[in-house]
Structure 1
Amino acid sequence: MLFFIITLILWGISELTEDNFILSEMISAYCAASLSLCFGIFFLAMIFGTRNWFAKIICLLITALMMITSYSFIETSILLYKDKTAFDNREFETVIAVPTGAEFDDADYGTEFLMELEIHHLTLDVYSLNISRDYYQENLSGKSLEISYLPNSRYAVSLKEYSMEIKD
């Protein structure tokens, strides 16, 4: 219950800090880690609360999955912290290429948004740019894109169609 309360508090704080990209994303990652820990501890308690061996094995697997997920979110937050100086100094890495893969969120209703782009075996997180599936497919798919991203966490900070301008 403690991790669930912490999750709600962190979620509220992340909504208040949306103007600071790094801080907002870090807190959101900690929020997700806290929620994963909440579920992990719940299924760990279920291991001790049940006598069915099959249920114990399933709960153990779910607990392990939740702990690994929590670790992944904590690691993401640490990488974002390492990118804080680069973000403040606007020292982004830039890649120009046609994406080889795109992943969208699974919205049950409403707009689907672009989550990740793969370019030359480099996966970039573009979810925070709020690019809808329709906009991506109509305007960006199959085109050469210029993407600026943070070096450690690989969060994209800008994405635009690349156009090579010839100057006289």
Structure 2
Amino acid sequence: MKPKFIDRLFISNNDNVKTLGERIGTYFMIVCAIFFILTVIIYAISFFFKNDWIVHEMIQLISGVCFTFVFCSAFITLIFMTHNWIWKLTGVLVTLAVFYTATTLMVDVRMIYKDKIAYENKQFEKIVGIPNDVEYDHPESGQKMVYKIMFEDVTVEALNLWIRQDYFEKNMKGKRLEVLYLPNSHYAIDIHVAD
């Protein structure tokens, strides 16, 4: 049996909701709110797993996927609720971009899940060499952190190690590094200057 508020969305004499597009848009507003609540709950749950880094990271990525669905739902709402074709086109383009981001995050969740056993058994991949390039994150405030370290054969994600840009450039830049990383997700576990 459907709840009454859902039945009301299909009643055509309701002055607030007239067209099918507006009714569909209203559903997506509800979906948007549900995904927002899920994002907050899942993100809060991740802090209960602070001691288990890999589970903590997986849960945070899942909350990121839910957050991207908040944006997807919001822009799908825009597509159905507006009559302006420029806003509709903008909504479609943004929805596609955000959906692509969500699928990328889902792949990251899968890769980290595949790395769980390797992480627990300390079966890390190792690379030793001078990095070809280093990419830093772009924080709104505070210090930049090392985001990716690129070698010839592999790119390693290092944001989880919280290495500040100034520290890296002073102590590690241009030197042979030994990097331990997870085999599927390529998350760095340890980075130090090789002897």
Superposition map of 1:51-130 within 5 A:
51-130=83-162
The answer for unaligned runs of 5 or more in structure 2 is 1-32
AA at the equivalent of 2:181: Y
Separation of aligned partners in 2, 1:15 and 1:106: 24
Max radius of gyration: which structure? 2
Structure 1 vs Structure 2 CA RMSD? 0.9
% identity of equivalent residues: 31
Q: What is the CA–CA distance in structure 2 between the aligned matches of 1:144 and 1:158, rounded to whole Å?
A: 14
Identify the residue that residue 13 of structure 1 maps to in structure 2. 45
Give the TM-score normalised by structure 2: 0.81
Cα distance in 2, alignment partners of residues 74 and 63 from structure 1: 16
Deviations 1:62-119 (A, max 9, x none): 0011111111111101111100111111000000011111111112211111111111
> Residue 79 of structure 2 corresponds to which residue in structure 1?
47
CA positional deviation for 1:121 = 4.4
TM-score, scaled relative to structure 1: 0.94
Which consecutive aligned stretches of 4+ in structure 1 deviate over 3 angstroms post-superposition? none
- Cα distance, 1:8 vs. partner? 0.7
Give the alignment partner of residue 33 of structure 1, picking from 37, 41, 65: 65
What one-letter code is carried by the residue in structure 2 that aligns with 1:45?
T
Which residue of the partner structure matches residue 164 of structure 2? 132
Q: Distance in 1 between matches of 2:170 and 2:151?
A: 19
Higher RCO (C-alpha under 8 Å, 6+ residues apart): 1
